[in-house]
Amino acid sequence: MIWSQQPAPKFRGTSIEAEVHGKRVLKLRNHGETYEMNCPRLSIRILPFPGVSWVGNVNILCKETGLVAELSYKSSFSFLGLGGNSKLVQGKILDSSSFNVLYEIDGQWDRTVKVKDTNNGKVKVIYDAQKVISGLKAPIVKDAEGVWETESALIWGELTQAIISNDWEKAKEAKQGVEERQKKMLREREGKGGSWSPKNFVVSYSNESGLECDCSPINKWVPPAPIIAL
């Protein structure tokens, strides 16, 4: 999975909405398939009741098979933000060459999502959030000596532990420490006339704003990670 995206938040009075620019590319090497997709907008509602949801349209394209998935994320609320149907996802999978709809998709992304075969009418669950979440396990450090200084788990480890322990004063100090170290590294790099560049990817920008970008891996395979999820 190559994730070349960045959010552009906007304040809308009673909510904050972040439009995610860029795209994701998922390559299934065993199947010889590549999927390109965009991302829905992240909506953070402040009033009258706080809440978070995905909204907007997502297109997923597989160039090798010609299949296209068109998804729509929706949230609807009744008076004063109560009731309604939130976290809805609806859409269809079609053949781009004939525009023939093969499957219809419907559900809630925080619960279950079902797909209906338009040919025979059969319906099956393709995503069950409860089963997926219950099966998640915390990552473990497989090779402590192989952890880089730039690993997020190491950089934010002290802050994370402080939050888990509800030690907010220590969490504040840890956050400030990370920020100060990053600022120091930036000053040193700029003082030497250097610029930051990723080690495993090449990034290119398609416009002056820097919001539209693309990235590709330098090597065919990503080195094994010292932190893994079993």
Residues 190, 78 share a domain: no
Q: Do both 3 and 109 map to the same domain?
A: yes
Q: Quick one: 103 and 7 in the same domain?
A: yes
Are 109 and 160 contained in the same domain? no
Q: How confident is the model at residue 77 (pLDDT cuts 50, 70, 90)?
A: low
Q: Are residues 93 and 199 in the same domain?
A: no
Same domain for 102 and 172, yes or no, is: no
Query: Domain boundary at 105, 136, 167, which?
Result: 136
Question: CA-to-CA distance for 23 and 210, rounded, in angstroms?
Answer: 13
Do β-strands 112-117 and 123-128 pair in parallel, antiparallel, or remain unpaired?
antiparallel
The residues near 125 (Cβ < 8 Å, ≥ 6 apart) are: 112, 113, 114
CA-nearest of 220, 206, 149, 139 to 182 is 149
Instruction: Report d(CA 81, CA 72) in Å as an integer.
Output: 21
Q: Please check whether residues 127 and 19 belong to one and the same domain.
A: yes
* Average pLDDT over all residues of the chain: 84
Domain's final residue, options 136, 158, 187: 136
Same domain (yes/no): 182, 196: yes
Same domain, 154 and 122: no
Number of domains in the chain: 2
* E strands in the chain: 2-11, 15-28, 33-37, 41-45, 51-62, 67-74, 88-95, 100-108, 112-117, 123-128, 140-141, 201-205, 213-217, 227-228
CA dist 177 and 196 (Å) reads: 20
**What pLDDT is attached to residue 119?**
95
CATH number for the domain harbouring residue 151: 3.30.70.3490
* Residues 93, 7 share a domain: yes
Say whether both 116 and 10 belong to one domain. Answer: yes
pLDDT of 210: 52
- Express each pLDDT in 88-147 by its tens digit: 999 999 999 999 999 999 999 989 999 999 999 999 999 999 998 887 777 777 777 777
CA angle 62, 218, 223 (to 5 degrees): 95
Position 195 scores a pLDDT of 81
Enclosing domain of residue 83: 1-136
